[in-house]
Amino acid sequence: MDYAFPFIQKPPRSAKPRQNGVTMVLDKNLSVPEVECLVQSASDFIDLMKFGWCTCAIFQTDIIRQKCEILRSHDIDVCPGGTLFELAFLQGKIPQLLREARELGFSCIEVSNGTIPMTEEQKLRCIKMVLDAGFKVVSEVGSKFVEEDLRLHVEQRIEQTRQELKCGVWKVIVEARESGTFGIFDSKGKMRVDMLQSLIEGVGVDDLIFEAPIKQQQVELILRLGNGVNLGNIPPGEVISLETLRLGLRGDTLRHFHVLRPSISVELGPSGALAASDSDLRLQ
């Protein structure tokens, strides 16, 4: 695809289908025309669209089918929310959920246990069931309740993440909720750097999707971990904004990608001296 201003240099960015630099968008109530508008401008920058919570259970089937078809035609995986999976688990209706998801056009399923009592052993069995049904699987580690999430030590998060990756999930989502105030973030949305560092050391970067709905959280994760960090719970209207952050095309990250990292080139003769002088002026 041809982009405007092609002479503007940008840092490397992986192409779809991506294994890093993934952007997971949270769809709460987009209409079919809104999805069409979104993919027209931003499909290159969206890897996974998640229909939040149980929202897709109160949409008409034709609407869900059309949205899934549009998104998948633009190489975007589509996933119903983890809360819907948890509710189906509680009601003993996982097989029905998987059949309906396939019929509607979903390509990915989120397996989580952030709301209901579900042991890790049960969760791993669910992951295997979904994989056997032919879906891509993302799982989620963390609780949606403050007290429970605070009791989940980082060592437990690392162990659960490792087990679920070993079981075959594509990525593990680090719970932060739509508010961005759980997991690696405190109640005010500030990063808990020690927890982030421990997760990276224990698991790595590429296998995790960090829920980071707030711009400053996205900025800090990109500055700390690079533009290949996987980010989730991105509002649809913020996809382009996030991509400019990843590419240093916004003031928050421009210096990091274009000024603070020196580039070295060799220029010979008077023209080279002029080019070097001109480069120095641009950096002042």
Instruction: Provide the CATH number for the domain around residue 92.
Output: 3.20.20.70
Count up the domains in the chain and report the number.
Answer: 1
Query: Looking at this protein, which amino acid is placed at residue 208?
Result: L
130-144 confidence digits (pLDDT tens): 999 999 999 999 988
Q: What is the mean pLDDT of residues 163-175?
A: 97
Q: Would you state the torsion angle of the CA atoms of residues 120, 126, 128, 133, taken in this order, to the nearest 10 degrees?
A: -170
Residues 6+ apart with CB under 8 A from 137: 108, 109, 110, 111, 127, 130, 131, 168, 169, 170
* Average pLDDT estimate for 77-91: 96
pLDDT, position 180: 86
Residue 282 has pLDDT above 50, yes or no: no
**Residue at 260 is within a domain:** no
283 within a domain of the structure (yes/no): no
Residue 59 lies in a domain: yes
**Model confidence over 249-259: pLDDT tens digits?**
999 999 999 99
Question: Does the structure show a pLDDT above 70 at 269?
Answer: no
Say what the pLDDT of residue 279 is: 46
For residue 89, what are the domain limits? Answer: 23-249
Across 193-222, average pLDDT:
96
Mean residue pLDDT across the chain: 91
